[in-house]
Every structure is written in structure tokens, then in C-alpha cells.
Amino acid sequence: MFKLYAQAGWDGLTVGHASHARMLVSRFVPTTFVSNCLLQMYAHDVDAAYAEEVFDAMPHWDTVS
């Protein structure tokens, strides 16, 4: 889902940011896969600060992270 948001351009990124905010508010703990998708979305968004926050909050990393 977040990968598609990143590829969709500005409108997709807006929805992606909103989806991530909703996850944070609901205290959803994302899996490593979901976190990697968020990293990719923020990397496409050229927003290194958000990408770093997502990375730092990840409980586990894998080779993709």
C-alpha cells in the first residue's frame, strides 16, 4: 500500500502520510515489512527526517532496512 502511495505522486504521499499518522494514533505496531514500506515511501518523498524516525522506531531490522 505505501509503495503505491510513493509511486502515485503528491496525492498518494498525502494519503500515505495520513495512513501512517492513523497507525501512530491507534498505537499499531508495524511489522518489519510495513516499516520497510514506510521507509521506502518516505525515501521517495525525499523526507529523510521521517525516514530516520521510522527506522529508529523499528524494533527489528532486516537486510532490506
Please report, in tens digits, the pLDDT of each residue of the chain (65 residues total): 666 655 555 565 677 778 888 988 998 888 888 888 888 888 776 677 877 888 888 877 776 65
Residues whose CB falls within 8 Å of the CB of residue 18, separated by 6 or more in sequence, listed in order? none
Helices marked H in 1-65: 2-7, 10-25, 32-44, 48-57
Q: How many domains does the chain have?
A: 1
Residue 62 belongs to some domain of the structure: no
Residue 45 forms part of a structural domain: yes
Q: Is residue 65 part of a domain?
A: no
Residue 64 lies in a domain: no
Task: Assess contact for 37 and 1: CB atoms under 8 A.
Answer: yes
Its pTM stands at 0.66
Per the structure, the complete domain to which residue 13 belongs is given by 2-57
